[in-house]
Structure 1
């Protein structure tokens, strides 16, 4: 009886260039979006996804044969891919878009599917690890839509991930009141939660090496994609300013004010 050969894994990690988490968001002058002329960086949840792909290779050795970082966006999105390469990804794919174009989650899922469909043979992608959401639009829908389009199993909000040699995948996910452990088989889509890991900082030697790693540049038409938005943003506004509180002399006065406000 022949021994069972290990299932080799090619991982794809979508990474989004988004407004840096530390930037104070301002509404754009046209009132239909936010000011994007600010510092950008990799979406933090995607950074966790890149880290987990690298840790999976470190734990499993040659079981993980490649890690590819994919980004969709203008020319500056290549910097986000370089960050992933400096962390430890092997290659990158950049699907270019004109500056200012907003690519909706369903279009992102279609694009990732096209990239997976064109991979073949020993380079066939069979595991996608992506952030559960992007901090700019908070849609949290790309991973689920991608799994549905591909017909793959999925594990969302992952706080722990492991893959066995036979291709079985185990995901521990956070749910209300506890943890849920699910199992499936490759191919598979995983979306990462905050507590999955803490991303590493890229070292200077790895940053230098990343400059020599290959990034394949594609246009939407190369993959038969159309990023024309299906939705229109009517208006964007800041939340109302907080109003200062008032002082009360005693509990009775407080209760009276709460009753007057209909809160009791």
Structure 2
């Protein structure tokens, strides 16, 4: 349910409660008048003052409660949304969201006859970073790489954590050559800017595989071609980019 609708429903319930309280107050005052505690003039003055005071208090309380509830519900929905769509550690999209976005972009590219490229980015020697510096250092490196990727790509490009130390990048309206140029800037920038781990500066590199989506590609075929290009980059020295061959789906390996 939309947070605003939920808040509105809660506010209505609060208002009903206040109306019941107000009615009870009026009944009490009526009983007081009937038994003759006050004369008519005093009763009218008392009733008017009570009604105005009760109404003012009710409106003030309703306003305060509504603001607090709206804030609580908004924060709750925001937290749930983050858990559903974003990776908790790196704050980029999680794998499921990345895959869904890729399906959307593939459909859009086919519909508008626009190029689309996908890339797999893997942090080189990540296991040794964890082994030598600890998992907190590994988390710091993951955050650093995610931040560098996001800051150097366009706002329309999609960055998601694919798993472990791998990131899935989606570049709409981008062929493999332009994708290579964009991601080469990312690779170079990561390689030349060290991550500070305690008193030590740790230089990080990444390997990248790029695949331009073919019209007949399935989602998994597109991912596999980018992943095969990534493996080729890892096998041939790391800290480099490889572009996938369109023949991988036919069983011919990258050379």
Q: Shared topology, TM-score over 0.5?
A: no
Q: Which structure is higher in helix share?
A: 2
Between Structure 1 and Structure 2, whose CA radius of gyration is higher? Answer: 2
Q: TM-score when scaled to structure 1?
A: 0.28
Ranked by relative contact order (alpha carbons within 8 Å, sequence separation 6 or more), the top structure is 1
Q: TM-score when scaled to structure 2?
A: 0.28
